[in-house]
Every structure is written in structure tokens, then in C-alpha cells.
Structure 1
Amino acid sequence: MALIAKTVGRTSKTRAFAAKGLAILGLAVMLSGCTSSLDLFGGSKVDRMSTGTIPAKRNPTALSDEVTVQNAVSSADLSKVSMSPLPWANTTTGSAGVVSSIREARTQGHICRDFTTTRHSFEGIAQFTGQTCLTNNGSWMLTAFDRQ
């Protein structure tokens, strides 16, 4: 049996070199999950599906608040309310506000009510002006609701 002797310095250098190599290999394997350029195990499984632009929709919360304000304005008895504040609240959205003025006028043969209101919501406090008009079938239609 032959015995091959190595020096302690040479064995330590070999172990240090192997440890560095294993650390670099481990780092490369970990990074391969983060980048597509280091795909070590073959074919990329990335879904390349693309989508078109989705049109912006109006905020349903704001739309529901518009209907609530319209109902408050259209059902108000102007002989009693005239210039007094008219509070409104939407239990569905948690929004509330105060209609500060309502003016009724006949516009192009239709009775319309112009109004100013505030809306207190999770988005903050804002002021709006709007108009609702009586249609031929007797229902009210909101024709304007603009944030100031």
C-alpha cells in the first residue's frame, strides 16, 4: 500500500477553492429564479399573454352618490327648503353631504333644478354643482354633476 503525502497548506487551499466554487454555483442557482437570462434547467415557462387597454370606468361609489343627491334634490319641497341646507347620506357608500342651494327653472320646456352640494367620502371632501330635469314620463334625470 502506497501512501501519498500532501502538505497541509495545499489541502487547505484546495478546500478554500472548492468552497468558493460552491458558493458561486449556489448564488447562480438562486439568481436563476429571479432572471430569465440564467435559466439553467431549460425552457422558460413565462406566460407571454398580452392584454389590451381596459377603458376607464366611472367610480361606482361616485355614481351611487350622484343618484342619492338627485333623489334628495328632486324630492325636496322648495317652498320649505328654499335656501336652507338639505343634508343627504348614502348608506351604501358611507358618503354624506349637504345641498346648499337649489334653484328651479324651466329650461327648453322642462323643469330643471340646479344645485350645489358637498360630498364627504373616504376620498375627502369635495364640492359639486349639478342639474336634474323632469322628463316627459315624469321621472327625474341627472343632466350634470361636476366636481368643482
Structure 2
Amino acid sequence: SSAPSAPAVPASSDNDSDQTTIGNAVSSADIQELGGQAVPWANAGTGSRGSITELVELKDGGLTCRRFNATRESFDGVAMYQGELCIADAGGWRMQEFKAL
């Protein structure tokens, strides 16, 4: 007898998980202490890793945002992204933009 195989997890769920991991690293980074150094990140759930560079914090009319570039190294290759994370009304960080370059 054979057991049914588990459904394949779509690659987009890995990307979403990595995006969340990158967002967490961006929101928790101490920009003053970094002094322009890259922030490494890794996602044990997907096996992906990379670094966050060009991390800057901007304040516009009371809205605080962080812009960044990130690399993602995974089994399917290396990709570069550009993103922006802003503090939402509830006080938590929210990804405003995350696009492949």
C-alpha cells in the first residue's frame, strides 16, 4: 500500500516567509549602531539567507519608514530585492513595498 504524498508547498510561500524574516530583521536593526554595515538574515524554515544593505530610516509627516535592499540566496538561486517597511497605526511594522530587482 502507499500513502498519499503531501501536497507540494508553493514556492510563493517560501518567498512570503523570507519576506517576513527580512522585515523582522529590518524592523529590529539598530541603524545607528550598524553604521552602514550589512545586516545578515537567515530563515531556518526555508533554508534561505542573505543580507540587508542600504538600510535608511526616513520620517515624513510623522510616518517612520525604513528603506532597504536585500539579497536572498536559496536553492533556486540568488535574487535582489528593494523594500520599504513603515510603522503602522497599531505600532507594528508593515511591509509597504517588496519587489525583485
What CA distance in whole angstroms lies between the structure 2 residues aligned with 1:142 and 1:58? Answer: 19
Q: Deviations over 1:81-123 (max 9, x none)?
A: 1310100000000000000120110134310000001000111
The answer to whether the 8 Å contact 1:102/1:114 transfers is: yes
What residue ranges of structure 2 are gaps of 5+ in the alignment?
Answer: 1-9
What CA distance in whole angstroms lies between the structure 2 residues aligned with 1:90 and 1:58? Answer: 14
The structure 2 residue matched to 1:109, chosen from 37, 62, 66, is 62
What residue ranges of structure 1 are gaps of 5+ in the alignment?
Answer: 1-56
Cα offset for 1:58?
Answer: 7.4
Higher relative contact order (CA 8 A, sep 6+): 2
* Residue 118 (str. 1) matches residue 71 (str. 2): yes
Distance change in 2, residues 1:82/1:136 (3 Å): farther
Query: Higher strand proportion, which one?
Result: 2
Larger Rg: 1
Distance change in 2, residues 1:114/1:126 (3 Å): same
Q: After TM superposition, where is structure 1 displaced by more than 3 Å over at least 4 residues in a row?
A: none
The answer to whether the 8 Å contact 1:82/1:102 transfers is: no
What residue in structure 2 maps to residue 65 of structure 1? 18
Aligned residues between the structures:
92
The answer to whether the 8 Å contact 1:82/1:101 transfers is: no
What residue in structure 1 maps to residue 86 of structure 2? 133
The 5 A counterparts of 1:51-90 are 59-90=12-43
SS at match of 1:136: coil
Query: Higher helix proportion, which one?
Result: 1
What CA distance in whole angstroms lies between the structure 2 residues aligned with 1:58 and 1:86? Answer: 24
Amino acid at match of 2:94: M
SS at match of 2:54: strand
What residue in structure 2 maps to residue 147 of structure 1? 100
TM-score (normalizing by structure 1): 0.59
